[in-house]
Amino acid sequence: MELTRRDALSAAVAPLLLALTGNGQGTQNTPVFTQDLPNLTMEDWQVTVSQITLPPGNVGAAHRHPGFVLVYVLEGEVVAKITGSAEATYGPGRMFYEYPGSTHEVSRNASATKPAKFLAFIFATKGLPLTSPA
């Protein structure tokens, strides 16, 4: 059975969104992010979800991922700039997308005094390094 990109994304993100928005009776679920995805078969792909904590004042090096990435900010504020987009600051509950082949040009904690924490959902072919220098 071929896994579609919609199936993969739903399987990876649905449990997170249910946990964050609640799943009890009468709970209203509101989309927090919508993004078109690349047209890929995703054969031999996997999703790796990592929780990343940026110390206060942390500035990351420019980097790339082998597939596409969805980022969900849990705590603090993260400043990011992805190829072709403006630099932006993302706080708790906000998300951003890194498309295949893009460079994460700016990656830093917006605060000099508080850590920032986020989940990175990296969708890529199995066995490839998840991050490489730009």
Please write down the HEC assignment for all residues of the chain. CCCCHHHHHHHHHHHHHHHHHCCCCCCCCCCCCCCCCCCCCCCCEEEEEEEEEECCCCECCCEECCCEEEEEEEECCEEEEECCCCCEEECCCCEEEECCCCEEEEEEECCCCCCEEEEEEEEEECCCCCCEEC
What is the structure's pLDDT at 19? 52
What is the structure's pLDDT at 40? 83
> What are the pLDDT digits (tens) for 32-81?
899 998 888 889 999 999 999 999 999 999 999 999 999 999 999 999 99
> What are the pLDDT digits (tens) for 112-132?
999 999 999 999 999 999 999
What is the structure's pLDDT at 28? 79
What is the structure's pLDDT at 32? 85
Residue 16 pLDDT level (bands cut at 50, 70, 90): low
What is the structure's pLDDT at 31? 87
What is the structure's pLDDT at 1? 45
What is the structure's pLDDT at 10? 58
